[in-house]
C-alpha cells in the first residue's frame, strides 16, 4: 500500500515568495521514478496549490513524485508571468535534491492550469496533460464581440475544485478571465494564445474536455490540428456532460497515466 507524504511550502522562487508542495510515496523513492508538475487552475486570477491534493496524491500513489506550485496571478501579474514562474520551477526541480529520473518530467493541469501545462509542453518539449485547458484566446474573443465580460458567475474563491460545477458554457465569465489575463491588451492576448506557437519542438500532449462545458471543444480540435501539422503526437478524449476538469477524473485519469507511462518508458 502506498505511503504518500507531503512536504509543504517549499520556496522555489524567493523573489516572489512562490512556494510548492511535494507529494511522494516513501516506498517508491528511486532515481528511476518520473516527475509530474501539477498546476492548479482558477482562470489565472485565483486558485492555490492545495486544490490539487487529490490529483497529486493519485499520481504519487502510482509512483510519480509530484511538485505542486503556486504561481503569480492576474491582474497584478499578467501573461507571461505564470509561464515564466513555471519554466523557472522546471529548472529548480532539475537541480533539486530529490531522487528521480531527470529525463522523465511531465506536467498536468486543469482549466487555466491546463493552459499552463500546454505552455510547458510548447517551451520545454515535455509530455503534458491538459484537462479542460483554456486554449483559444484571441480567436475566441474576436468571434464573441457581443458577449459582455462578467465575473458574476465565477467560482467563489476557496470553493473545492471537485465542487465547482460550470454546467456547460459560461461565455461572460470566459471572456472576463481571458481579458483579465492580459488587462484587455489584445496584442498581448495574441501572444498568449498557444494556438499560434506550436512548433516541432513541442512535447506530446493529452487533451481532455467535456462535450458541453466552460472550455470550448473546438479549441481542443484546433490545437490537435496544429500539433499534427508539426508532427507532434497527441491524444484527445471527449467525455459526455458538462464536467470541468476534476469532474471527470474517473473517466480520464487512467488514460492520462497510461499516456505518461508510454512517454516515460
pLDDT of residue 170: 83
DSSP-derived 3-state class of residue 222: helix
pLDDT of residue 2: 83
Rounded CA gap, 209 and 161, in Å?
16
Residues 217-253 as b/e (b if ≥16 CB within 10 A, e otherwise) read eebbbbbbebbeeeebebbebebeebbbbbbbbeebb
**Going along 148-233, which residue ranges are E strands?**
205-210
Rounded CA gap, 35 and 54, in Å?
16
Tell the residue number behind the cell numbers 482549466, with chain if given: 111
pLDDT of residue 177: 96
Q: Phi/psi zone of residue 245: left (φ > 0), alpha (ψ -120 to 50 degrees), beta? A: left
**122-171 per-position pLDDT tens digit:** 999 999 999 999 999 999 999 999 999 998 877 666 666 555 555 667 88
Strand order across the 35-39 sheet: 4-13, 18-25, 65-69, 35-39, 105-110, 128-131, 205-210, 234-239
Residues of the chain with pLDDT under 50: none
Tell me, which fold does domain 4-263 have in CATH? Rossmann fold (3.40.50)
Query: With contact defined as beta carbons under 8 Å apart, do 209 and 192 qualify?
Result: no
pLDDT of residue 29: 81
pLDDT of residue 162: 55
pTM of the full structure: 0.95
pLDDT of residue 166: 57
Sign of the four-CA dihedral 99, 104, 109, 113? positive
pLDDT of residue 77: 98
DSSP 145: T
pLDDT of residue 128: 99
Q: Tell me how long the chain is.
A: 265
What is the residue extent of each domain of the chain?
A: 4-263
Amino acid at each position: 500500500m502506498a505511503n504518500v507524504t507531503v512536504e509543504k511550502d517549499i520556496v522555489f522562487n524567493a523573489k516572489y515568495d512562490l512556494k510548492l508542495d511535494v507529494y511522494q510515496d516513501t516506498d517508491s523513492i528511486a532515481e528511476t521514478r518520473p516527475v509530474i508538475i501539477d498546476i492548479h487552475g482558477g482562470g489565472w486570477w485565483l486558485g492555490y496549490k492545495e486544490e490539487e491534493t487529490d490529483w497529486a496524491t493519485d499520481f504519487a500513489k502510482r509512483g510519480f513524485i509530484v511538485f505542486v506550485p503556486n504561481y503569480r496571478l492576474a491582474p497584478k501579474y499578467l501573461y507571461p508571468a505564470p509561464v515564466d514562474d513555471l519554466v523557472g520551477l522546471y529548472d529548480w526541480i532539475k537541480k533539486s535534491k530529490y531522487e528521480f529520473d531527470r529525463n522523465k518530467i511531465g506536467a498536468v493541469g486543469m482549466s487555466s492550469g491546463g493552459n499552463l501545462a500546454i505552455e510547458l509542453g510548447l517551451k520545454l518539449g515535455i509530455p503534458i496533460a491538459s484537462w479542460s485547458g483554456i486554449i483559444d484566446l484571441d480567436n475566441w474573443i474576436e468571434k464573441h464581440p457581443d458577449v459582455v465580460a462578467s465575473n458574476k458567475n465565477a467560482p467563489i474563491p476557496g470553493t473545492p475544485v471537485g465542487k465547482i460545477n460550470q454546467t456547460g458554457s459560461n461565455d461572460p465569465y470566459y471572456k472576463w478571465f481571458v481579458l483579465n489575463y492580459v488587462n484587455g491588451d489584445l496584442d498581448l492576448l495574441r501572444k498568449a494564445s498557444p494556438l499560434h506557437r506550436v512548433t516541432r519542438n513541442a512535447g506530446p500532449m493529452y487533451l481532455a474536455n467535456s462535450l458541453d462545458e466552460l472550455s470550448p471543444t473546438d479549441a481542443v480540435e484546433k490545437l490537435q490540428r496544429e500539433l499534427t501539422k508539426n508532427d507532434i503526437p497527441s491524444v484527445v478524449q471527449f467525455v459526455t456532460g458538462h464536467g470541468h476538469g476534476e469532474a471527470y477524473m474517473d473517466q480520464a485519469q487512467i488514460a492520462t497515466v497510461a499516456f505518461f507511462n508510454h512517454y516515460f518508458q
